[in-house]
């Protein structure tokens, strides 16, 4: 359970694949974990719950060998601290546009001397891990993901990449499309040109390029482009697509005849 090897796998250059959790349900979590993703994306930015609602879900993911990743709502020290303290291996900070914002996220995410995060990882009491040992080694395990979601962030990518202490720069295609004047058009030329360039600009920095998409062909394309940290949709959306298809088929041909 501890330490989780996600960070080391990225450092070795492996491609890691996750999937999203849309509701803080241990039963839904268990079903998703059975698919064996590398990480579980728990979104507290857009979904109507925070870390308080997660209870033992991050620990459950750890117990199943999956790294819980919590996206916080804002680059805020309280939100980042609570996400790690409830058990996150990785925390994702949205809308990081400048090197100064990146440096603040690092400060909030790392224990001294690398940052100023307060000490007391309470998930250890649920998991039965050694509280003292986790504190002493947490900086070696914890992953920090910053999101590039605007033209400003892309223009500042070289300066952001020089900030020490974060591990992944994840392109958010939807917000990026809005910033480029092509709102919701994530497949537009403007968005795709930037997405193609991001891994190139991160070469040699030790920072992995990441993104989130639904279609397998698009994910494969991004891996060819150099993306290493990829979220593969979410089980609920995929399930609804299959259900919709089955209902359409059954309504058109209930008895399977002809």
Name the residues annotated as catalytic.
46
Whether 45 and 83 have beta carbons less than 8 Å apart is answered as no
Closest by CA to 75, choosing from 112, 39, 101, is 101
DSSP 196-254: HHHHHHHTTTTPEEEEEES-HHHHHHHHHHT--EEEEEEHHHHHHHHHHHHHHHHHH-T
Closest by CA to 20, choosing from 238, 252, 233, 168, is 233
Q: Which residues pair with 16 in a beta bridge?
A: 229
Q: Is the N-terminal amide bond of 113 cis, ω within 30° of 0?
A: yes
Whether 244 and 250 have beta carbons less than 8 Å apart is answered as no
Reduce the DSSP state of residue 158 to 3 states and report it: helix
Query: Which residues lie closer than 8 Å to 67 by C-beta, 6 or more apart?
Result: 4, 6, 18, 38, 39, 40, 61, 89, 90, 143
């Amino acid at each position: 359970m501890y330490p989780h090897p996600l960070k080391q796998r990225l450092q070795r250059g492996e491609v890691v694949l996750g999937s999203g959790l849309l509701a803080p349900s241990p039963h839904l979590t268990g079903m998703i974990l059975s698919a064996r993703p590398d990480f579980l994306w728990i979104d507290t930015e857009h979904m109507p719950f925070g870390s308080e609602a997660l209870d033992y879900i991050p620990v459950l993911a750890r117990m199943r060998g999956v790294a819980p990743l919590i996206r916080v709502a804002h680059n805020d020290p309280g939100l980042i601290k609570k996400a790690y303290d409830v058990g996150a291996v990785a925390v994702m900070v949205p809308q990081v546009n400048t090197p100064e914002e990146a440096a603040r996220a690092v400060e909030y995410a790392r224990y001294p001397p690398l940052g100023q995060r307060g000490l007391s990882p309470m998930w250890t009491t649920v998991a039965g891990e050694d509280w003292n040992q986790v504190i002493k080694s947490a900086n070696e395990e914890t992953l920090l993901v910053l999101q590039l979601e605007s033209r400003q962030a892309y223009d500042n990518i070289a300066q952001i990449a020089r900030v020490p202490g974060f591990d992944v720069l994840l392109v958010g295609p939807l917000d990026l499309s809005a910033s480029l004047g092509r709102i919701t058009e994530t497949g537009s030329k403007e968005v795709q040109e930037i997405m193609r360039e991001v891994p190139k600009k991160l070469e040699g920095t030790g920072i992995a390029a990441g993104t989130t998409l639904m279609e397998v062909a698009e994910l494969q394309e991004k891996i060819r482009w150099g993306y290493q940290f990829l979220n593969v949709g979410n089980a609920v959306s995929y399930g609804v697509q299959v259900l919709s298809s089955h209902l359409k088929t059954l309504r058109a041909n209930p008895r399977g005849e002809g």
